[in-house]
Amino acid sequence: MVTILKSGASKRDIQSVLKKLREQSPKKGLDAYKHCGTVKFKEDGLILQKRWRDEWE
- Each domain of the chain, given as residue ranges in start order, spans 32-57
How confident is the model over 16-28, as pLDDT tens digits? 888 888 777 666 7
pLDDT of residue 2: 76
Provide Rg for the chain, Cα atoms: 20
How confident is the model over 3-54, as pLDDT tens digits? 788 888 899 988 888 888 877 766 677 777 777 777 788 888 899 999 999 9
Write b or e for each residue in 39-48: b if 16 or more Cβ atoms lie within 10 A of its Cβ, otherwise e: eeeeeeeeee
Residue 5 near residue 13, CB atoms below 8 Å: yes
